[in-house]
Amino acid sequence: MSVDLAVNLVTEMFKIALLVSTPVILLIFIVGLIISIFEAATQINEMTITFVPKIVAAVIGLIIFGSWMTTELVDYTRQMLETIIQIIK
Protein backbone atom coordinates (compact mmCIF):
# COMPACT_ATOMS: atom_id res chain seq x y z
CA MET A 1 0.00 0.00 0.00
CA SER A 2 1.40 3.34 -1.02
CA VAL A 3 1.42 6.51 1.03
CA ASP A 4 -0.90 8.23 -1.44
CA LEU A 5 -3.50 5.49 -1.06
CA ALA A 6 -3.28 5.67 2.74
CA VAL A 7 -3.69 9.45 2.68
CA ASN A 8 -6.69 9.14 0.35
CA LEU A 9 -8.31 6.54 2.60
CA VAL A 10 -7.88 8.70 5.70
CA THR A 11 -9.15 11.78 3.85
CA GLU A 12 -12.22 9.87 2.66
CA MET A 13 -12.81 8.62 6.20
CA PHE A 14 -12.82 12.16 7.59
CA LYS A 15 -15.09 13.38 4.78
CA ILE A 16 -17.69 10.69 5.43
CA ALA A 17 -17.54 11.28 9.21
CA LEU A 18 -18.12 15.00 8.69
CA LEU A 19 -20.87 14.42 6.15
CA VAL A 20 -22.76 11.93 8.33
CA SER A 21 -22.49 13.89 11.58
CA THR A 22 -23.31 17.34 10.19
CA PRO A 23 -27.15 17.16 10.10
CA VAL A 24 -27.55 16.07 13.71
CA ILE A 25 -24.89 18.45 15.03
CA LEU A 26 -26.43 21.33 13.09
CA LEU A 27 -29.88 20.50 14.49
CA ILE A 28 -28.50 20.43 18.05
CA PHE A 29 -26.70 23.73 17.42
CA ILE A 30 -29.90 25.41 16.23
CA VAL A 31 -31.90 24.12 19.21
CA GLY A 32 -29.15 25.27 21.59
CA LEU A 33 -29.14 28.72 20.00
CA ILE A 34 -32.91 29.03 20.33
CA ILE A 35 -32.79 27.90 23.96
CA SER A 36 -29.97 30.37 24.70
CA ILE A 37 -31.96 33.22 23.21
CA PHE A 38 -34.96 32.14 25.29
CA GLU A 39 -32.84 32.03 28.45
CA ALA A 40 -31.37 35.45 27.75
CA ALA A 41 -34.81 36.94 27.14
CA THR A 42 -36.37 35.44 30.27
CA GLN A 43 -33.23 35.46 32.48
CA ILE A 44 -33.84 31.83 33.43
CA ASN A 45 -30.61 29.87 33.93
CA GLU A 46 -31.53 26.24 34.47
CA MET A 47 -29.31 23.41 33.20
CA THR A 48 -32.18 21.09 32.33
CA ILE A 49 -33.69 23.73 30.06
CA THR A 50 -30.64 23.48 27.79
CA PHE A 51 -29.83 19.80 28.27
CA VAL A 52 -33.16 18.07 27.67
CA PRO A 53 -34.16 19.83 24.41
CA LYS A 54 -30.74 19.10 22.92
CA ILE A 55 -31.12 15.39 23.68
CA VAL A 56 -34.62 15.39 22.22
CA ALA A 57 -33.33 17.21 19.12
CA ALA A 58 -30.53 14.64 18.74
CA VAL A 59 -32.98 11.75 18.95
CA ILE A 60 -35.34 13.40 16.46
CA GLY A 61 -32.39 14.12 14.16
CA LEU A 62 -31.29 10.50 14.32
CA ILE A 63 -34.82 9.36 13.54
CA ILE A 64 -35.11 11.73 10.58
CA PHE A 65 -31.60 11.30 9.16
CA GLY A 66 -30.84 7.80 10.45
CA SER A 67 -31.68 5.89 7.28
CA TRP A 68 -29.64 8.27 5.13
CA MET A 69 -26.72 8.11 7.57
CA THR A 70 -26.84 4.31 7.57
CA THR A 71 -26.92 4.19 3.77
CA GLU A 72 -23.89 6.48 3.53
CA LEU A 73 -21.94 4.44 6.08
CA VAL A 74 -22.82 1.13 4.41
CA ASP A 75 -21.73 2.49 1.01
CA TYR A 76 -18.47 3.74 2.52
CA THR A 77 -17.86 0.39 4.22
CA ARG A 78 -18.55 -1.48 0.99
CA GLN A 79 -16.13 0.80 -0.86
CA MET A 80 -13.41 0.30 1.77
CA LEU A 81 -13.83 -3.48 1.74
CA GLU A 82 -13.51 -3.50 -2.05
CA THR A 83 -10.37 -1.38 -1.73
CA ILE A 84 -8.92 -3.81 0.82
CA ILE A 85 -9.64 -6.74 -1.50
CA GLN A 86 -7.88 -4.94 -4.37
CA ILE A 87 -4.86 -4.22 -2.14
CA ILE A 88 -4.59 -7.86 -1.08
CA LYS A 89 -4.70 -9.15 -4.66
pLDDT one-digit tens code per residue, 49-66: 888 999 999 999 999 999
**pLDDT at 4 (0 to 100):** 87
**pLDDT at 69 (0 to 100):** 96
CB 20 within 8 Å of CB 69 = yes
| Mean pLDDT, rounded, of the chain | 91
Please say whether the dihedral angle defined by the alpha carbons of residues 42, 46, 48 and 52, taken in this order, is positive or negative.
positive
- pLDDT of 47 above 80: no
